[in-house]
Chains A and B, each alone.
Chain A
Amino acid sequence: MTRILAYTDRISVAPGGSVQVKVSCDGLDHYHARLIRVIQGDVNPSGPGYREEVVDLDLGGPIPGRFQPIHAGSYGIVEGAPPLDMGKSFSMQALIWPTLPGCGPQTILSYEDPNSCAGFRLYMDAAGALAFQVTELQGNSDSISTGSPLFAQRWYLVTGEFDADSRTLTVFQVPQISTPKVQDRHKNSKVSTIGTFEAGSDAVIMIAAHSGCERPALEHFNGRIEAPKIFTRLLDEYEKVNPGTAEDRELIAAWDFSVGISTDRIIDASENQLNGLLVNLPARGVTGHFWNGDEHCWKNNFDHYAAIHFHDDDLYDCEWETDIEVKLPDSLKSGVYAVHLQSGSEEYYTPFAVRPPRGTRSAPVAFILPSASYMAYANNRIGIDVPETEIVTGRLVQMNPIDLFMQTHPEIGLSFYDVHNDGSGVYYSSRLRPIVQMQPRQIGHLGGVGSNLWQFNADTHILGWLDQLEQPFDVITDEDLENEGGQVLEGYKAVITGTHPEYYSVGMLDGLQSYLNAGGRLMYLGGNGFYWRVSFHPTLPGVIECRKSEDGIRVYPPPPGEFYASFTGEYTGLWRRNGRAPNELVGIGMVSQGFDCSSPYILTEASRDPRVSFIFEGVEGPVVGDYGLSGGGAAGLELDATNHAWGTPPNTLVLATSERHSDLYLMTPEDMDDPAPGLGGSEAEIIRAEMVFFETPKGGAVFSTGSIAWCGSLSHADYNNDIARITGNVLQRFLDPTPFPVM
């Protein structure tokens, strides 16, 4: 199941367009490929049954399998460096803030010929001490270390140099704060055993890694690097102790990371203009050595944000070669599709949306495939890295083949639910890598007792429901909404969300809001939606940024001074902390989560209001949804409820509410201003899902369920149940163009 991996270049394509599929096989000679439409991905024997539809399209093959590696770890690379040799003195300097000193050699700055590996580099040695190495053409090398390990999370000015007159190598590490009883200021020199090297015309300069002969980069740095410089002279003592004092004489390069923070470029401020490229998106817009708390937004004081945080597990784009180009038939109907790759018992699905051609609609209903939330959760290690998962799910954690694979292959990259190897938070997540959890048939960890589905596969409960209703629908992804705004939703009679559309950009939110403002009808069939603000990169495809500032349920808090997105300069965090609480959009907002069992809803008095009689046709009540594949009830996993203080419209009707949850359901930290006993689901009144309805100004309306588990109940008793009836009643009325009365 994990010997074939793949990803596509795009997540959304119109009929007639093409998709590039990038495949890697681990020891498989050949594989077969076919295009399928995803209908129902749940393989639970108690569920509605797995269903896919094969598209009659020849993708060629059998296709020869080949291995394509993933090289995680970020670094900067500069080509076209002027030749250097040992006929003249030279020096390298940088400010560094290491995070994992002592965890293997880690490069700060290197100048090497990638063919011969001749050159020199400044690095931390295996013990975490500053070291400097010279390697000659035949591979012989000589190095010197201070022998004094650096401390983590501490700024140092580090210098390595070669004195051509005395033939000596020198290293000097200077902590920027001196601390009694901590002896980490050290200098060391020796006469070099290497007489000469010629790292000639092909030499590359790398920051935070050095060029390996077998792979693109080796011995990545973990931590922050600021203002790396190379001189063709020796630095004096004052310059070696005081950052920013080295004069610009005989400079080869001086990179200023405070320039171009939103980009993947690094700018050399010297006359040589040795500008370079960052690979695998190290974190920018992070505080540097000069940051003092006066300014919290990098746009207002670039000098305080002149550092880049590199990680040995950063990954943006695997840059695999294309193995299959799928040219989609012009007549292909909109939907969620996947290229299915198979070799014997090994298989992989790489899904994408087929959207209607730009500016057109092919159905009255649009389903928004929450691709930004899939990216946010991409390859999350909640099941394998987080030991608390058993306690919060209330049962043993089950490891499926993808979990076993991710445990031994961390190079597949991280999600917004993980921390880097050095414990720092993950700011960026991309889809230009295999996302093993984004496949039909896959089982998650947080989906509750029953099918235990999450995100992509949980959303197939909606696809399956629409399919059995024979309801034509278009699929629009988050990226389409980001790129085209509300226009992409214009004219749809109803728009349906996924089960967990948690991550929204300002463009997406504006798009959805403008659809509603124009009289659109929205069915929010999930929970914990519209929660975190994310930013798409202005030019790089397939990547989003999220910093979970202030509060909210999160695995790490970004450090002080880092609450602004590097991609766009936006203030990050919860949408409710950005003045646009989900309550304003959909009437409800996140109040609690728990991942064991779900509960039924109890209909309220308001459910008998004539305004909503269409919703409950054929529904008896008062208990609805005491069944389902996501925890055994319709109200569960993550719950939303009304809150007028956060903008729930005053015309909102609370139609039903869940009344009892287990004590594994807990309040969100953002609502827990003053902790007091009784925070669990059996006691705290705030812990409930609320099903709501309200009309919008131009004859539109919103129906929200407030529960991720809702759609797990749709297929119960062969779709003959109250949850399916309520959802279907809402859809039928929303398809009716008769405006909802405003008065």
Chain B
Amino acid sequence: MSRYRLSDEDLKYAVEFRANPLGTPSPGLQRVLNLLRGGPKKGKYVLIVKEPFRRWNLGRMPESRGEPIEIISEIEYTDLAEAEWDVFKRRWKESTGQDLEQELA
């Protein structure tokens, strides 16, 4: 679990991530990702495979073994980069309260 906290200094890393969500991150972006991707199991965003290599729903993990994974069927992706950016924005908002699209506009 990361103790790092996001600040406006990190917006440049959000720009880096948006440009290439599947690329090799710079050390600064890696630190941001360690925080955003490093949360506990409960509520963690995951992708639910609808069609392998082609279509995914957003999902969220439950806390314990035996409980079903929540499938958010109204949110669908056909591109993994798009999915990564969408989840990045959701987590950024949950962490800072900031709407990244507005911040970066």
Taking Cβ atoms with an 8 Å cutoff, the residues of A that contact B are 43-46, 381, 384-385, 387-388, 390-391, 394-401, 403-404, 407-410, 421, 443, 449, 597, 662-663
Contact = CB atoms under 8 A, between A and B. Distances in A.
Given A390-B44, A407-B65, A398 B24 contact: no
A407 B37 contact: no
Contacts of B27: 663
B47 A410 contact: no
B52 A404 contact: no
A404 to B, nearest CB: 6
Given A385-B41, A391-B33, A396 B66 contact: no
Taking chain A's interface residues, is the majority helix, strand, or loop, or is none over half, making it mixed? loop
B47 A397 contact: yes
Nearest to A408: B68
B11 interface: no
A394 B80 CA distance: 12
Interface string B17-53: 0000010100100100110011111001111110011
B13 interface: no
A45 B49 contact: no
B65 A399 contact: no
Nearest to A663: B30
Contacts of A403: 69
B59 A443 contact: no
Contacts of A421: 65
Contacts of A409: 66
A399 B44 CA distance: 12
Contact of A395 (B22, B44, B52): B22
From A46, A384, A390, A662, name the one whose CB has the most chain B CB atoms within 10 angstroms. A390
B53 A45 contact: yes
A396 B38 contact: no
A384 B61 contact: yes
A408 B61 contact: no
B16 interface: no
Contacts of A391: 33-34, 37-38
Nearest to A421: B65
B100 interface: no
A408 B69 CA distance: 8
B59 to A, nearest CB: 6
B46 A396 contact: yes
Given A385-B41, A387-B39, A400 B22 contact: no
A557 to B, nearest CB: 20
Given A387-B40, A396-B45, A449 B22 contact: yes
B68 A407 contact: yes
A44 B30 contact: no
A44 B53 contact: yes
From B27, B45, B56, B65, name the one whose CB has the most chain A CB atoms within 10 angstroms. B65
Given A387-B61, A396-B83, 10 more contacts: A46-B53, A384-B61, A387-B44, A391-B38, A395-B22, A399-B46, A399-B48, A399-B59, A407-B65, A407-B69
B24 to A, nearest CB: 5
Contacts of A401: 49
Interface string B60-75: 0110011111000000
B76 interface: no
Given A385-B41, A399-B59, A410-B65, A443 B52 contact: yes
A396 B67 contact: no
A401 B49 CA distance: 8
B49 A399 contact: yes
